[in-house]
Structures are given as structure tokens and as C-alpha cells.
Chain A
Amino acid sequence: MLMKSDAWESRAWEGDDLPGGGRSEANRTVVFLMIAGAVMLFTTFTASYLVRREAAGWGKVSLPAICWVGTAFLVASSVTMELARRKTASARLWLGTTIGLGVLFALGQVEAWRQLRASGVTASSGAHSGFVYMLTSVHAAHLAAGIVVLVVALRRAGRGSLGGCAAWWHFTGAAWIWVAAVLTVF
């Protein structure tokens, strides 16, 4: 991804016959590690949530209905992402659709925040609403990173595998379901 020039991609140095699989494996390693780190992040938030809800001033609110529409968009976008990854011929089309669905989800998220505010729910109005804003925003940041990566991938579609992008995208989808479930169930 972040290379200096073509000469650095010399196969003699970083070919896939290296014991660790060479450069093409490195991108995979990085995506895997980033997912592992993000899982730790959401786990920490979840643990904090479970601790904090035992104490005073919890004030649970429910997610606006539009969040569930967004969930459907994200699930659909995981399907189109898989299509992009498998069908190299129409990869661009499916990638574009995935990005579109992701953006739709993000817009829904903004609308959800607006509705919450309109009904007087702010980050400081209760501990639960603090978690609602915080967790949805942290998730949105991960999703935004995913969109940026997909846009880059769209520009260079056809070259290289989409495995890493797909893994991250599915992760952001799963993370959303995780976040939404925690915020609703507990």
C-alpha cells in the first residue's frame, strides 16, 4: 500500500517464497492486527458499559428506529462486498454499491443523532446516552476508515486482492451489530 517506488517491489527481496510469505502477506497481517486491536477496543467499551450500568444515573434510552434500517444497509453491504471480492469482472460495480450502502448507513447515523438530540437526549443527559453517542461515534470512525479504504480500492480495482478490505468491512458490520446489541440488550 505505502510503497516508495516500483523498484522496492523487487521479487528477489520480497517475493512470496520467503518463509513469511513476503509482501503480499504483510497487508493481510496488518488488517488482521487492526481487527484484533479494534476488537480489544470494543471489548473495553463493553466491559466499561457493563460496569457503569450498575451505578447511579444510568438513564437508559432506546436507539431510534432508523438505526435498524441502517443495520439492514450494512448487512446488505457485506453481501455486495463479498460479491466484489469474488467476481473480479464486476468488482468495481459491487465495490461502488458497497460504498454507497456504507454512506447510506452513515447518513442514517447522522439522522439518528439528530433525532436523539431533538428528543433532548445528549451525551451528558445520562450515562447510557453517553455510551450511545460514544459507541456509535467510535463505530462510525471505523466505518469511515473502511469507506476510505474502499474508495482507494475502487480506484485500483483489478489490481491485487480485495481480501483485506473485505475483512475490515465485514468487521465494521459485525462491530455495528455488537454495538447495537449491547446498547439495546443491556
Chain B
Amino acid sequence: MALTHSHGTDAAHGHDHPSGFWSKYIFSFDHKVIGVQYLILACIMGLIGAGLSVWFRTQLAWPGKAGMSPENYVMAVTMHGTIMIFFVVSLSLSSGLGNFCIPLQIGARDMAYPLLNMLSFWTIVPGAAIMVASFFVEGGGAAGGWTSYPPLSALPKAAPGSGTGQTLWLLAMAIFVVSFTLGGLNYVATILNLRARGMTLMRMPITIWTYFISAVLGLLSFPALTAAAIMLLLDRHGGTSFFLPSKLILSGQLQTNTGGTPLLFQHLFWFLGHPEVYILVLPAVGIAFDVLAANARRPVMGYKASVFALWAIAFLGMIVWGHHMFISGMNPYLGKYFSISTLIITAPFALLGVCLLGTLWRARIRFNTPMLFALGLISAVGTGGIGGLFLATATADLHFHDTYFVVGHFHLMIGVTSLMGTFAGIYYWFPKMFGRTMNETLGKLHFVGTMVGTFVVFTVQHFQGMGGMTRRYYEYVNEYVKPAAALNPLVTIFAFIAFGSQLIFLVNFFWSMFAGAKASKNPWEATTLEWTAESPAGHGNWNEPPVVRGDPYRYGEGADGKGWKLQTDA
């Protein structure tokens, strides 16, 4: 199979071949197996996270009919946000597809550190388990929001979920950060150092650029969260006052803390938080580029411009965090700075959008499932980005902050965009994963349900926000907000449609794994390196190291009317 030296034989290197169920599927070193493991874990966590949203959407649409207390409600939104961002989107898009396609697309036989890679996965499993277990402790899961601002998160007695639930939340997040950081080290080392012969940086598919950039972003921004978490833990359990202000009164009792500043936590959190949203959205855009090029049969328009735009977004993404805090209290000049720097980000974003759309210019598009999701992604980035423009304007944000306008905005971005990219990637690489294709009819159904469901939910939420509907409320009882809240049943019904469509995906995913139509080596007639490996590729990916001889998107090249060329072709 794969790992033989040019002079070796299978027998001589028999110990490289994973044999037996445990080493092949459970504690595998193979990046492809690990990638699929992440995807499956993300599916499980996705059911839990999305299930929570079904629960609280029911409450919002038909107050009192969901069997949910106000405490349950804040816990459910907190845990929904945390699970979705860190245990679904991160695990499926970054860790799952990233693991699967990085070595395949750059021509390496595995990650730079396969054992570390396996350990990263088996670190995150207990992390996920602890996060889920925190529902069942006394007081329930954390309820201070996915941002876990102190004092709610810092005083164990502040609210029901602030006790053991919050402690477990912090523990699970610490595990996540460790695992994700190890993964990021592996990604960067693999991409920088193990590219195949001929694979220069500017010949890498854009997907690889985005994984690279987002890993760098993660390595530079997660330490801020780590520092914040250490201080939060000390405030919780060590009696310090980093974030806890003087004169806090809890259940009629004056607390002993002096001089801490909750604002500091917000700065540290968002110093990670903003880059984190780009960490999750950039790879989705990268995948869309690959899928668009393959199905438009055209090279990516403006490859260099896109790479430049990605770096610009990453850099700017690290200096705009304050836009989440316009009304937390900051010097107006600082607010102006954060406002302007945030607005500047829309320039490279627009450039990316132009390149994405330009790739479609005059193309004869194949509308298969991966392509539909890639197109849906363009729509989601555009729509969500427009909301971003309003939010970035500090004066407008005074009104929009902490309303459903923000909820609509970030779900279109971090939710719909990232998941559209993930789905595009899964449908696209599924043949390489399992040697089979996913069912097209079910795939298209999944797409339509997702597209219609999510877009109705999140665009309508923008209007509800403008109508004054603040977020994280159990029930809307004030007169002024009634008109906006009247849209809640509609939103909830479409949320159910979006949720139901994901069940179609799950059925399709697991059914196709065993019973999908057999796929050839290169079913999409794509040009990048992974399509030169077998479907499914064995441990080690290729027998001989591949040699790259051209750009990643060689559509429209090639003789004999074939119209495309593999990256390895002369």
C-alpha cells in the first residue's frame, strides 16, 4: 500500500500498516481517519447544540409551551453558542476537514506530527464530554453567555449556572484550547515544511492558505483567552480581584473584592473572540474557492489578490476587537478607531467577494451539491457582511448592540457561512474519504432546506433587532417590542426547517459511507493534488511522493479538448 520506500517491500515495513480495528479506526495516526473522527464528533455535538436551539426557539415562539424556565433559557443559549462555535464549527471545519485535506492537498503523506495529531483528537473528546456533562450538575450548565463575562462567570454564587456548571465550562474550554493549539502547530508545521516537491507557496490551493492563516491567527490570539481564563479561575477560586470590582452586592451581601475591572475581561475575550470568528470563516471561504473553481471549470479569479486579501483580513482582524464593546464603556476616540478599522476590513472582504464571483464569470456552472453550498456561502458572506457595516458604525451600534440584529449578523457569518463551507467541503471530498459519493437528491434537498431555513431565520432577526428586540430574553412582554416579537413563531418554524434539513444530511452522510455509489479517483475532474490519490486513499496517501508542476487551478488548460490538467501534469 502506501508507506513503502522506493526500495522497500511491504513485508519489510509491515509495522507501518495499521491492522486491527483499534489502530485503524480508533487510535489511528492517519490524518484522514482523524479528520473523519472529528467530523463524527462534530455531528454528535451538532445534534446537541442544535437541539438546544430547537428548545429555546420553541420557548420564544410559544412562551411557556417548551417546559423551560428562565434559568434553563439562559443556560440553553449559553451552551448552544459554546457548543456550536467550539465543538461543531471548529471541530468540523477547522479540525475535521483541515486534517483531512491539508496533507492531501500539499502532497505530504501525513501531518508533521501524526502522534500529536491523534492526541489532539483524544484530548478534545473528554473536553466535549465534560461540556455535555456540565448540563447535569447542580445548578445546570453555564449560563453567563458564550462570552462568559464576569461577574456572572466569576462569582460561583452569582446565578444557578455560575457554580459547578461554569467551572466545568472553563475546564472544557481549557481542554479545547490545548487541543486546538496542538492542532494549529501541526497545521503550520505541515504546511510550511512538508509540501511536496514543486509545491511552492503560491501554488497552494486557497483552501490551504486559509487553513494556514487561520492556524497562525489561532496561535497568536488564543493565548489572550488563556490568560483571561487563568485570571478568571483565580478570581473564582483564589480570592483575587482581577475582574471583580469593588462594592459588588450579591444576594444582599457586600463582596470583599476590590478594584477589579470586568471591562478588562471583555477586552481580553474579544482579542481572541474576533480573530476566532475569522479562524472559522476563512477556511470556509477557502473551500468555496476550490469548489467554485472545479464546478465553474475556471481558474480562481485573482489568486494573488485573494491571498493578499486573506492576509489583510487576518491582520486587521487582530486589531478591531473593540467593536464588540462600543457601549461597554470606552473613550470615544478609541471607539472611533475601532469603528474605522472595522470598516476597513470590509475592503479586503469585498475583494474576496469579487474574486469568488469573478470565478463564476461566463462559466458553464455545474450545479451539484458542493457547488450549491459554495454559492450559498457567497450569499451568506455578502448578507452578513452588510449587517457588519451597520454594526461597525459606533453610533448605529448604540441601537443595534445586544439585539437580534447582532444575532442575525453573526449567525449568517459564523453559522451559515462556516457551515455552508463545511458542507461544500464534505460533499466535495466525501469520495476521497470513503470512495463513494453522497446522494445528490438528498444533498440538494439538504441545501434547499438549509438555505431557505437559515436565510429566513437570520434576515428576519435583523428586523426584529431594529424593532428593539434585545437578545438573551426569555420572553418579550413590553408593549414596544410586541410587533417585533410577533415574528417569533415564523422564525421558529423556519428554524425547524433548517434543523430538519440537517437530519437529511446526517442520514445521507452515514448511509452513503456504506452504500453510496462507488466513486472514481477524480469524480469532479478537479485539478488539485488530492485527486491524484486513490479514493479512498490508503495510509500514507501515495506510494511515491507526488511532484507538482503547475498552479492549483488548471481549468481551461490541457490539450485534446479535455480542458483541464492535474497539478502534477507537465
Contacts and interface: CB of A to CB of B under 8 A. Distances in A.
A and B assemble together: yes
Contacts of B259: 52, 55-58, 127
A118 interface: no
A123 B194 contact: no
Nearest to B257: A57
Interface stretch (A16-24, A69-77, A83-91, A169-177): A16-24
B386 interface: no
Given A23-B193, A45-B227, A56-B259, A29 B16 contact: no
B6 A2 contact: no
Interface string A1-27: 111110110101110011111110111
B198 A130 contact: no
Interface size class of B (residues with CB under 8 A): 35 or more
A45 B201 CA distance: 35
B50 to A, nearest CB: 32
Interface string B189-206: 111111111111100000
A38 B185 CA distance: 13
A52 B261 contact: yes
Contact of B114 (A4, A7, A20): A4
B220 A37 contact: yes
Contact of A48 (B3, B113, B227): B227
B112 interface: yes
Given A2-B113, A29-B189, A38 B198 contact: no
Interface stretch (B161-169, B237-245, B368-376, B454-462): B237-245
A119 interface: no
Interface in A120-136: 122-124, 127, 130, 134
A7 B13 contact: yes
Given A4-B115, A37-B181, A19 B195 contact: yes
Contact of B260 (A14, A45, A52): A52
B268 interface: yes
Nearest to B238: A123
> Chain A: interface residue count, which band?
35 or more
A139 to B, nearest CB: 12
A122 to B, nearest CB: 8
Nearest to A40: B223
B364 interface: no
Contacts of A122: 239
A2 to B, nearest CB: 4
A1 B114 CA distance: 10
Given A7-B3, A29-B189, A130 B16 contact: no
Given A18-B196, A37-B223, A57-B241, 12 more contacts: A7-B15, A8-B16, A13-B545, A14-B194, A29-B193, A30-B113, A36-B219, A44-B228, A48-B242, A55-B259, A55-B260, A127-B242
10 contacts: A4-B29, A10-B3, A12-B6, A20-B192, A26-B189, A41-B223, A44-B271, A48-B268, A52-B264, A124-B239
